[in-house]
A and B are shown apart, each in its own frame.
Chain A
Amino acid sequence: MEKKYSLLYIDDEESNLRVFKNSFRRDFGIFLASSADEGMKILDMEDIDVIITDQRMPGKTGLELLKEIHGQFPEIPPHRLMVSGFAAPHDIETAFKEYGLFKFITKPWEAEDLKQIILDVIHKGNG
């Protein structure tokens, strides 16, 4: 059987989390977190292939989360994605350059496209 890759999706909107899971549950293993800290806990416990996070969240923003991940797990290949309605260009640049961001996607997302991008990331990361 083909390996089912695992995704971690972080967003403060419950509806977003639910819709994401329902969209991709057939294709990937889905882990959900409604805050950056919750996300970090999951990363510690589970084997995650791709991280997708919203930028604008209460407490830690997506950018801050990526910074922390990069700090803790620098050897992880760039399986990092970001999805958001808004971010300042400077922030995005920093994320790409320093925190290993692979791609920046805006909402609303197209399910098929996003699936392809995720697969892209995984294959690139695996060599």
Chain B
Amino acid sequence: MHQNNTIHREERYYRQIVDLANVAIVKFDTKFILNDFTGNAEKVFGYKKEEVLGRSLYETIVPHYESTGRDLVRLIDQLIANIHSYEYNVNENIRKDGKVIWMQWYNSELRDEKNVLTGILSIGVEITDRVMMERALKESEERFKTLSNLTFEGIIIHENGLILDCNLSFERQIGYSRKELIGMQLLEQLIPPGYHVSITNMMKNDSAQYEAEAIHKDGTIIPISIESGKAKIGDREVRVAAIRNISELKKTINELDKYKNHLEEIVVQRTEELKEKSRELKKQNELLQLERNQLRTIIDHIPDIIYIKDTQSRFLNVNQKQVQHFKKKALSEVIGKNDFDFYSKEFAEKYLSNEQEILRKGIPMINMEELSIDENGNQIYLSTTKVPLKDHLGKITGIVGIGRDMTEKIRADNELKIQKMYLEESNHLLGERSEKIEKLNAQLFESNDKLEAANHILQERKEELEATLEQLKMAQTQLIQSEKMASLGILLAGIAHEINNPVNFIYAGVNSMIKDYQDVNAVIREFLKLKKGAQDTDEILDQIAQLTKQLDFNTAHQAIFETMEDIKLGATRIKEIVNGLSRFSRMENEDWKRSDIHDELNSVLVLLKNKYKHHIKIERNYDEDLPEVDCHAGKLNQVFMNIINNAIDAIGENEGTIILQTTYRKGWVYISIRDTGRGIETRDLSRIFDPFFSTKEVGHGLGLGLAISYSIIQEHQGELTVKSSPGKGSEFAVKIPVKH
């Protein structure tokens, strides 16, 4: 009994302990069947003891797998096999309501008296909250680490300069590793001395950004911005600083400054330009104003009343005469008002209806006689012209009116006709004037730019035209020159050929004559030896006879005479050619001289002889009594040269004739040059004297010959005409006055 009490007491004591301990006590056998469930197991797991006893662990409080994936079945197998490794174990368990909890288990073996393992006793404490907190903390730590390493800013945590921690960005910025940095002194090791004071100050307060410099591990200075604030970690009062490398920023700021300066320069420049422009505009405006004033003065001095009204017949503008007519002093007293303000209702209505019709139809009213009242109240007659005013688009914007007092005229009967004439005259002028005024108005109302632009264009045009004119003049001079050259060319070709033959006569002739003379001389010398009554006379005579035969004396003697004639002929020919040449060259600065036309014609023929001599016959029908003519002989030569040359070309390779005929009649000399060449087509005849017109192939003449000839004959106050029969021939007729 006593023992039983003791046992009961001990059991109660034991129970108390167990209850107080606030642990779950679980026992299971080797087959994982639960056979005890005490302590606060029921509270922890939510099961009643009866619900779990006799059931497997895995049906009740132990999941097969943990949420981490660990296999709990395997774990407990191993636990049973080797308890020493699992005396203390933390794992997940599962409540009745399915909620997952964390338990910290203390395990020990249960053996029977034979020391056979019968099961495991596990004592567990719930540590779910703790585990959750640990996880949360770890997560938060992870988050923080990620955040701090992702930020671009370098972040350090320091206490009075002693670096406690930093992020990845700062490591990169400064070149040191985190390990190296922890424990370094911020100021002494990483900041240049110049900035110590300011950073120290900054560290005393929460600050805005400071600009400073940092020293990279490799020694380079990095411009930085640094911002810091207080923080508490545990009980420690620390500072957290954010550091940014601002070297890029500084560079950008520099460039922006440069650009800003450049822009400022540009602005100044542009402002200057604009000022200049506005000065110019001001000047132009002044000029326009001046013009306006001039026009105003003109209009105000015209003794007619002149007015401009809008489409409602209100006065827009008037001249002085109109102002006076209304007995007013200033323009402002008239402008804006209408006829009803000045005339009687009857008159004003009439005027208004006139004007309305003009505006509607767009047809001006010219010289209509109207009754009006002058400034003194007397009845007067006005001859009025009202013209619709149009803007630059052609739309009618008002009326221009001119009125003339006609009273005098109408009253004076005698002067009526004269005045009427005068009126017609002045009406004409008025019409012109009103047109002019209309134009002036249109111009006045147009913009500056258009006037300026048109002027500008005209100026350019004028300059272009002047330049073109100069060029054309130059070209013309050149062409005339080259035509002269061409004429000269024909001439020279002729001369060169012509001259060869006569030169040959002379040259070869002289040489042959020398030889001949030598032969003759030999005989003569023998003759000279003869003396009257000398002994050797017979000998000498024999010698003479022999020499004569040997040297062919007779032939040589004859040859000398013949050769002399040929030489003479050659010399004469050359003289003619040179003569003709000098005539031809006498063209610039020629005076009027009396010349024989026949000489001119003949010298031209000499010059051209080579061209025609083989196949063309020349017929001369010269008037014996042809007087000399006042002329520029050289130029006339050129005319004849041109015409005769053309005649030769027209005949071509064939046989042909050129007939030259001269006649004198009543103070005029007529020269006709007719050829039997291919003639001129009727369609070309009218253009034959046109400059640059040619019936020859390209390259054979410019077509200026006849044009120049024509103008030369004109200079001589003569006429150059042509007749032609295609296929039969042409005739050129020159007519010039004897006296210049």
Contact = CB atoms under 8 A, between A and B. Distances in A.
Chain B contact patch, size range: 20 to 34
B507 A22 contact: no
A25 B243 CA distance: 128
Interface of A: 13, 15-16, 18-20, 22-23, 25-26, 56-59, 85-86, 106-109, 111
A15 B497 CA distance: 16
Contacts, number: 62
Contact of A15 (B496, B500, B569): B569
A19 B511 CA distance: 9
Nearest to A57: B614
B294 to A, nearest CB: 77
A18 B615 contact: no
Contacts of A58: 613-615
A106 B500 contact: yes
A59 B615 CA distance: 8
A22 B562 contact: yes
Interface string B477-501: 0000000000000000000110011
Nearest to B505: A15
A18 B516 CA distance: 13
A56 B497 CA distance: 10
B109 to A, nearest CB: 139
B458 interface: no
Contacts of A57: 614
B512 interface: yes
Nearest to A11: B501
A111 B615 CA distance: 31
B515 interface: yes
Contacts of B569: 15
Contacts of A56: 497, 610, 614
29 contacts: A13-B501, A15-B501, A15-B505, A15-B566, A15-B569, A16-B505, A18-B562, A19-B508, A19-B512, A19-B563, A19-B566, A22-B516, A22-B563, A23-B512, A56-B610, A58-B613, A58-B614, A85-B496, A85-B500, A85-B501, A86-B496, A86-B497, A107-B500, A107-B501, A108-B504, A108-B508, A109-B504, A111-B508, A111-B511
A111 B566 CA distance: 16
Interface in B571-613: 610, 613
Nearest to B558: A22
A20 B511 CA distance: 11
Contact of A107 (B503, B511, B559, B610): B503
B634 interface: no
B296 to A, nearest CB: 83
Contacts of A26: 515
B426 to A, nearest CB: 82
A18 B563 contact: yes
Given A22-B563, A56-B610, A57-B614, 6 more contacts: A16-B504, A16-B505, A25-B555, A58-B614, A108-B500, A111-B508
- 3 closest cross-chain pairs (CB), A and B: A85-B500, A108-B504, A58-B614
Q: At the interface, is chain A mostly helix, strand, loop or mixed?
A: loop
Contacts of B559: 22
A56 B562 CA distance: 24
Interface in B598-651: 610, 613-615
A59 B610 CA distance: 14
B154 interface: no
Contacts of B508: 19-20, 23, 108-109, 111
Nearest to A54: B501
A18 B566 contact: yes
Most chain A CB inside 10 Å of its own CB: which residue of B500, B508, B562, B570:
B508
Contacts of A25: 555
B610 to A, nearest CB: 8
B570 A15 contact: yes
Contacts of B512: 19, 22-23, 111
Interface in B66-120: none
Contacts of B513: 22
A10 to B, nearest CB: 14
A15 B574 CA distance: 14
Interface string B501-526: 10111011101110110000000000
Nearest to A86: B497
A85 B497 contact: yes
A26 B552 CA distance: 9
A59 B508 CA distance: 26
Contacts of A13: 501
Contacts of B503: 107-108
Interface string B551-571: 000010001001100100110
B515 A19 contact: no
Contacts of B504: 16, 19, 107-109
A2 to B, nearest CB: 16
Nearest to A14: B566
B507 to A, nearest CB: 5
A19 B509 contact: yes
A76 to B, nearest CB: 27
A88 to B, nearest CB: 12
Given A13-B501, A16-B501, A23 B511 contact: yes
Contacts of A16: 501, 504-505
A25 B509 CA distance: 13
B18 to A, nearest CB: 146
Contacts of A107: 500-501, 503-504
Nearest to B556: A22
A108 B570 CA distance: 12
Nearest to B563: A22
A107 B496 CA distance: 11
Contacts of B497: 56, 85-86
Contacts of A18: 562-563, 566
Contacts of A85: 496-497, 500-501
Interface string B127-144: 000000000000000000
A18 B515 CA distance: 15
A106 B505 CA distance: 14
A58 B612 CA distance: 10
A108 B615 CA distance: 24
B496, B503, B566, B570, most chain A CB atoms within 10 A: B566
A106 to B, nearest CB: 7
Contacts of B496: 85-86
A39 B566 CA distance: 23
Contacts of B500: 85-86, 106-108
A85 B497 CA distance: 6
B509 to A, nearest CB: 5
A65 to B, nearest CB: 14
Nearest to A20: B508
Nearest to B513: A22
B298 to A, nearest CB: 79
A108 B614 contact: no
A16 B213 CA distance: 117
Interface in B320-363: none
Contacts of A15: 501, 505, 566, 569-570
Contacts of B507: 108
A58 B655 CA distance: 10
A57 B562 CA distance: 23
Contacts of A59: 614
Contacts of A111: 508, 511-512
